[in-house]
Amino acid sequence: MISANKSKAQTQNPEVLPQHVAVIMDGNGRWAKARGLPRTAGHKKGADALRRMLDNCSKSGIHYLTVYAFSSENWKRPSDEISDLMQLLQHYLHQELEILHEKKVCLRFIGDLSRLDLEIREQIAYAIKLTEKNRDFHLTIALSYGSRQEIVGAAKKLAKKVLDGSIKFEQIDEELFSGNLDTAGLPELDLLIRTGGEKRLSNFLLWQSAYTEFYFSDTLWPDFDESDLIAALDDFVKRERRYGTTG
């Protein structure tokens, strides 16, 4: 078992652990329902699980964590749940920002933030500015995020640059395209974990996950703890990533 830098696999090859992990933090509602609680109670516990996850990733030597907090499709949920989620996000940012900054976490957001209230957008802008030079850990929060919209957005940006003459049509390649996505500059995504038992991407990081390893956990996100992360990492280190070659 991988325990804080002591896995057998890691001892043999320190490069075998993922550098960049993403999580679809799913199952908050079911966690609450099972306890006869409102869905918001599950989202609150979900925020605690994110705090834990960040520390556990750090302990395991992972420096990039990208989490799916709210999808572009989640705007279709009842307005009460949306406003509870937004309040929770504001509360999380308010409570955690100084702590994250002390831990030298660089905070980043991906998604269509224009759909958020001005107050939250200002809070996010402040958090990004405060932590932009931090380099010990990179936490990216996908908020109002949809990967198809992101890809269409990148195509539009490139089309505009061709039209205004700042790039030539022939220059468009995978690297340039990647550089116009919200995730520009982040390293390749090594491992994607989805909690809550569903086995789908739900419009998350479609371009970025071309050669990502997937791990599906039945654990509901509020219950996801260090042992679940270790199980995911143990599974990851056993895999052979062939990228289309014969290995």
- Residue 103 DSSP SS3: coil
Site for ligand IPE in 50-89 (CB under 6 A): 68-71, 74, 85
Do residues 101 and 131 make contact, with C-beta atoms less than 8 angstroms apart?
Answer: yes
How far CA 89 is from CA of 17, 49, 149, 177, in Å, comes to: 30, 14, 22, 30
Type of residue found at 181: L
Stretch that binds ligand IPE, among 8-16, 55-63, 108-116, 192-200 (CB under 6 A): 192-200
Q: How far is the CB of 114 from ligand IPE (least distance, A)?
A: 18
Side-chain half-sphere CA neighbours of 54 within 13 A: 22
Q: Choose from Mg ion, ligand IPE, none: what does 71 bind? Cβ within 5-8 Å by kind.
A: ligand IPE
Rounded-to-integer distance, Cα 156 and Cα 150, Å:
10
Do residues 67 and 139 make contact, with C-beta atoms less than 8 angstroms apart?
Answer: yes
Type of residue found at 81: E
Identify the DSSP state of 219: S
Q: Which is nearer to ligand IPE, 30 or 101 (CB)?
A: 30
Phi, psi of 137 (to 5 degrees): -150, 145
Query: Which residues contribute to the site for Mg ion (CB under 5 A)?
Result: 26
Q: How far is the CB of 46 from ligand IPE (least distance, A)?
A: 6
Q: Choose from Mg ion, ligand IPE, none: what does 30 bind? Cβ within 5-8 Å by kind.
A: ligand IPE
Q: Judged by CB under 6 A, which of 18, 111, 146, 196 binds ligand IPE?
A: 196
What is the contact mask toward ligand IPE in residues 17 to 56, using x (rule: CB under 6 A)? -------xxxxxxx--------------------------
Q: Which is nearer to ligand IPE, 60 or 71 (CB)?
A: 71
Q: How far is the CB of 201 from ligand IPE (least distance, A)?
A: 8
Torsional class of 49: left (φ above 0), alpha (ψ -120 to 50), beta (otherwise):
alpha
Q: Choose from Mg ion, ligand IPE, none: what does 10 bind? Cβ within 5-8 Å by kind.
A: none
Q: Which is nearer to ligand IPE, 31 or 64 (CB)?
A: 31
Catalytic residues: 26, 74
Q: Choose from ligand IPE, Mg ion, none: what does 70 bind? Cβ within 5-8 Å by kind.
A: ligand IPE
Beta strand 191-194 with 20-24 is parallel
Q: What does the radius of gyration of the chain's CA atoms come to, in whole angstroms?
A: 19
What are the residues binding ligand IPE (CB under 6 A)?
Answer: 24-30, 68-71, 74, 85, 196, 198, 200, 202
